[in-house]
Structure 1
Amino acid sequence: MAVDVLTETVIDAPCDLVAAYAADPSTAPEWYANIVSVEWETASEVEVGARVAFVARFLGRRLVYTYEIVEYEPGRRLVMRTTEGPLPMETTYTWEPYGVEGDRTRMTLRNRGGGGSRILAAAIRRANRKDLAMLRHLLELRYGPGA
């Protein structure tokens, strides 16, 4: 069984600002609870072909893996795939303006990969929900109404 977990949130902040922040792997330790560190293996620019090494703690284990950015549409979509690590994984972020005024952002986070199980999928889903809640909190404080 392959893992396929889709999580979404609505952030009360403009889409361009949410996307710019969330697409930058350097910010990941600020909003992903399990990510300990991030190191660019290429120039630190979000673009197709860029590679980023992550160290994480997940389910009591230390994980080291490298993602390569395989698709990037600034402000709309980012797709990264592992090139090294314990599990093949693809992570996709999407962003779209949301609400009557379009001044909010609907963000989705999807993790797909092989070698998974229902237990792993449930753990990823729980972690993603917490991470998106933290992202929403940080960005609404920084960019939301009244900020």
Structure 2
Amino acid sequence: MAAVDVRVERVIHAPLARVAAYAADPSNAPEWYANIDSVEWRTEPPVRVGSEMDFVARFLGRRIAYTYRVEELVPSERLVMATAQGPFPMRTEYTWMSAGVGTRMTLRNTGRPSGFASVAAPIMKAAMRRATNKDLARLAQIVERRA
């Protein structure tokens, strides 16, 4: 079974606290993730370890609904979420660090597709990399504009 592991990083020209606070709030995801249509909280905001949110996304022409659960949160440093349910077990990790001119944000998605998805893993990986690069560029636009 092929594993998917996509890691993308970008320097965002805005203070670390602002970038991390915006990116770590799942309610903002539909604004900066092109493929995420909606996020509904299962637990009360704000985000914390144990928080759960239902996401609806589009990927490779398909509608995907899944639930993320926050596994780890170190404010302004690291956020880790994993699917609690859904068609493709996925783990998403955000990290932030000062980068002199702003904030270096890393977004990493890992997972193990099964069934047909495992055959399509190389295509999924390439599509995820393209989408993630675009998402971080959109995040940078939004946060830098508010600087």
Structure 1 runs of 4+ off > 4 angstroms? none
Give 1:44 deviation, angstroms.
1.4
Give the TM-score normalised by structure 1: 0.93
**CA distance in structure 2 between the aligned counterparts of 1:119 and 1:79, rounded to whole angstroms:** 24
- Counterpart of 1:132 (choices 119, 136, 147) is 136
**CA distance in structure 2 between the aligned counterparts of 1:79 and 1:52, rounded to whole angstroms:** 13
**CA distance in structure 2 between the aligned counterparts of 1:75 and 1:35, rounded to whole angstroms:** 23
Identity among equivalent positions (%) equals 59
Q: Structure 2 matches for 1:4-19, cutoff 5 A?
A: 4-19=5-20
Give the TM-score normalised by structure 2: 0.93
Task: Look up the match of 2:103.
Answer: 105
Report how many aligned residue pairs link the two structures.
140
AA at the equivalent of 1:48: V
Task: Look up the match of 1:78.
Answer: 79
AA at the equivalent of 1:68: R
Task: Look up the match of 2:27.
Answer: 26
* 5+ long unaligned stretches in structure 1: none
Which whole-Å deviations, capped at 9, do the CAs of 1:100-135 have from their partners, x for residues lacking one? Answer: xxx500000000000141111001000000000000
Give 1:86 deviation, angstroms.
0.8
Give 1:45 deviation, angstroms.
1.4
- The alignment status of 1:120 with 2:124, answered yes or no, reads yes
SS at match of 1:96: strand
SS at match of 2:146: helix
